[in-house]
Structure 1
């Protein structure tokens, strides 16, 4: 598959997953009424997916390293589309929950592959623009998802929401399976015990963060399996997380920034919904219009970040972007008029969009091609765990304070703390000067075979 087609597949795959999450939120009330489901059952339509996808993202990425990212992407797209079609025909809420878990499994295959394919198709110095295009497309999906979902629910009904992505998923999945991956002299080995331990750890962590019944048990299990996973990785000859990925200070810092930024964003949006529809007295439609600058600036920030990375480097770009994100949250916490709210949301979108592109670029670029799937899986894990952490923190802080000031102040502080991690990222010289692999900050790219 040529680079342009690879980029198109990566973008569409990421958009399908983003749309699925946003339109589901809009469809849940109608789904609950139609299937006579309880609130807990409806919550599990989201939680079941999150638990499955978070637990398997890294292993899904490793499968791409072993068998080829296009092949794993194709299987993930076909399974995701088939599960979506099944949900649209589900006779009861139990079927919806089960199929959402299946969707999570296939989503864990396709999401890391969208980044792994880009790493394999583009040289490191040309990754900025493809990642920016992918991020901008996710921003567009986040903006139009609620609108499209609302129109479908109001018209054909909630089942039509899940048919939205079936055709593109099946077409792209079949197309990707026609690609023959290049042979590798030393294909990546699969660490099945490590994959199982990490899956249980991450799934338990997500389950505990969403405060489901039995969260204390799953939290304790996550700690135990997490310790066992670390010990196993240190002893095994073929670890699930290769040393060139987890041993990189730049990759670790970039992942930490993604968790902090996505937690701050999701927590702020959660609090902002109650702020807009509470003290400001706006209805859901007007609330969406007020927060629209966030999605717009996120889309515009993605291509701008590609230029900033080339001119200023990842260190300065991410540090400044996290500061902008923190400033936006502080503006929202002090806002007393709608124009100020719009300005705050715009700053949040600009900061988050820039961080997402820059930090993702570092994670994917710093990893060797042979480990690009694991790197993509870690990036996607950070982007899934962060929002769950943010919403959980927002719920707890709003319950303790009863207002929006405390949680928004905490999220602003979290963004500023994340800015400190940017010091470990490569600077402008490492990002722009081609020294033929002599610089320590530059990724060594294996020769093409």
Structure 2
């Protein structure tokens, strides 16, 4: 197999796997009310079908990335895709909501396996100087899938019922498996060779800390600040401290200190966390603003917000060229400034705001986040050695899972007990401050395109 064909098949498998997860997360949203009625389930039970998946994924991403580093990203990816497809098919024939929740947790395990592997495979197969372009295409595909998901989910649910939503991913799963099985196995880096052992205590502590944190953040918009919220955050903090203590003492830590201290990894992870939180923290009250303040129906609201998805896709797909010419730091700085500006302009929206003003806000938010997501992801993945690409990919995915939950929780805190739509201004201002913090982190990124810490062995 020629190197070019190897890279293209790897990219195709990576994109298809990432799209599979993105599509699954968005098509389900519009199907939940129908699922609830069909299975005679409570609102809380249906919410757990989403929460159980989200918590499971967030808890296992980094450990799954380490498994890819040790046993090969191709194998872990194939296992994750097969598990994701099998659990999706099983949910489609589930007899009750209890089965749906349990199978969504299983699906979360599979999703955690395949997501870091999509980046690990790219890091192994693509030369460092061309990696950003491959990741930009992957990011744009994710944005397209996320934008198309509600439309696909709505059409399927309306004509074939909620069970069809879980079958839509079987075709891309099959395509991803065919693509990755056609790629020959690459030799594992020496750092990931068998014999060193896995940091299972560290993996357990990290999983528990993240699960507790994400569950607390996800529950906060409904439960508000309470003793349970404080307890959840306190437990997550204690587990985090225990993890830090353990990682300093163990011989082979799950989170390598050199990776976490790398200027090409830690700052872009912080930028991804801050900007994804700011974006979702603005979109949460903006959705209520469009429907409750402006009186738009869900379809009209979706059309008003469509420029965000379009701008994100275009910015992500075209970010590699300016990053190569002007450096990743410049592109990420521009992206965070655009997100900050979009949040500030959103704070000025009111009952009399017109379509043009709303469109400009969404364009700025989408363009900024698309550029940040693609470029910062390339920095994180390229900043890790091939033996730690899975852990780096797991950290990147963790930031993008925790960030939205954090942003919505902060927006809810800013809103208080009032109407989220009416409280758009304070929420958007708070998110602008968060995005500005991301700009400060972006200023710490390495200048120029930089070099990978370890040469990539071409197939």
Aligned counterpart for 1:343 among listed residues 335, 360, 365 = 360
2:244 is equivalent to residue 240 of structure 1: no
| Cα deviation 1:6-35 (Å, max 9, x = unaligned) | 000110111110011111111111111111
Aligned counterpart, 2:442: 422
Aligned counterpart for 2:111 among listed residues 84, 102, 107 = 107
Mapping 1:211-360, distance limit 5 Å: 211=219, 214-335=228-349, 336-360=353-377
1-structure distance, mates of 2:235, 2:438? 28
2:455 is equivalent to residue 445 of structure 1: yes
Aligned counterpart, 1:38: 42
Give the gaps of 5 or more residues in structure 1: 432-440
Contact 1:79 1:106 (C-alpha < 8 Å) held by counterparts: yes
Could you tell me how far 1:442 is from its partner in structure 2? 5.0
Aligned counterpart, 1:390: 407
TM-align CA RMSD = 1.7
Contact 2:415 2:427 (C-alpha < 8 Å) held by counterparts: yes
2:377 is equivalent to residue 371 of structure 1: no
The SS at the match of 2:192 is coil
Cα pair distance change 1:135/1:183, threshold 3 Å: closer
Could you tell me how far 1:248 is from its partner in structure 2? 0.5
Aligned counterpart, 1:27: 31
Contact 2:267 2:445 (C-alpha < 8 Å) held by counterparts: yes
The SS at the match of 1:240 is coil
Q: Please report the TM-score for the alignment, with normalisation by the length of structure 1.
A: 0.94
2-structure distance, mates of 1:112, 1:252? 17
The SS at the match of 1:127 is helix
Could you tell me how far 1:112 is from its partner in structure 2? 0.1
Give the gaps of 5 or more residues in structure 2: none
Could you tell me how far 1:393 is from its partner in structure 2? 1.5
Q: Please report the TM-score for the alignment, with normalisation by the length of structure 2.
A: 0.92
1-structure distance, mates of 2:211, 2:12? 31
Aligned counterpart for 2:200 among listed residues 189, 192, 203 = 192
| Cα deviation 1:199-256 (Å, max 9, x = unaligned) | 0111111011112675444333222221111011111110101233112123111001
Contact 1:264 1:412 (C-alpha < 8 Å) held by counterparts: yes
The SS at the match of 1:334 is coil
Aligned counterpart, 1:210: 218
Aligned counterpart for 1:405 among listed residues 404, 422, 425 = 425
Aligned counterpart, 2:149: 145
The SS at the match of 2:327 is helix
2-structure distance, mates of 1:136, 1:175? 19
